[in-house]
Amino acid sequence: MNQFPGFTSSETFTPVPDSLFRLMNDITDADELKVTLYVLWRIEHLEGRFRYICRSEILEDNGFMAGMSAAEVDSGLEKALRRGTLLTVESDSPPGGGFGGFYFLNSPRGRASAEALKNGSWRDSARIPSTAPLPRPNIFKLYEENIGPLTPLMADTLKDAEQEYPAEWLAEAFTIAVERKVRNWKYISAILRRWKEEGYEGKNRKDAGKDAKRYSESQFSEYLDGN
């Protein structure tokens, strides 16, 4: 068994219905439990009005399938459908071409989505194609990959920053530093502080580039040297 390094403050979280925990004593089959939790995770990370997952999308996730076979996935889906935690709608030519129909959570949103497909009110554009969410790199990995080796003092500094700033800000600030060829923590920290004081601009890549340029041409020029 590989040792799990622990959860981090920079990762995303998936809300799990309380009623699922009350079913834990009833769900004794490992395949059913794995598939149920997997479908819940994937659907909760989708965007759009209609949220579902196709069997083919499950099988395409190499990370999940490293510990599952196609037969085990099918067995887990079948048991979850019989229990009623998941719903399915079969379709000869569903939007997105999913093999084996669509799978929905048996939730208010899932029931409404399944009904929409059944009665023909489904729109292809109402669902964004599904891919498994990628893990976000933590701040230590970002630092080592983009700036250099960690020192104990810098590790403490980065740990404090990870508690203070959202993961999205950290990743964007490192990206700006790399693009501006200013690979030092003081520069990145200056960007983060400015976003905290004046508002986050990182989602707009054009504005983010201008924001970074302001650092190199203003009082923040002192941060252009050193880590």
In the chain, where the domains are located: 18-126, 139-224
Q: Which two tokens stand for residue 207?
A: 């504005």
pTM: 0.58
Rounded-to-integer distance, Cα 32 and Cα 59, Å:
15
Cβ neighbours around 143 below 10 Å, total: 24
Tens digits of residue pLDDT in 106-161: 999 899 888 888 887 665 544 555 666 655 567 888 888 889 887 878 888 998 89
**Amino acid in position 160:** D
Q: Quick one: which H or E segment has residue 169?
A: helix 167-179
CB distance 202 to 208 below 8 Å? yes
Tens digits of residue pLDDT in 4-59: 888 765 567 788 999 999 999 999 999 999 999 999 999 988 877 778 898 888 99
Q: Is the dihedral of CA 202, 206, 211, 216 positive or negative?
A: positive
In this structure, which topology does domain 18-126 adopt according to CATH?
Answer: Arc Repressor Mutant, subunit A (1.10.10)
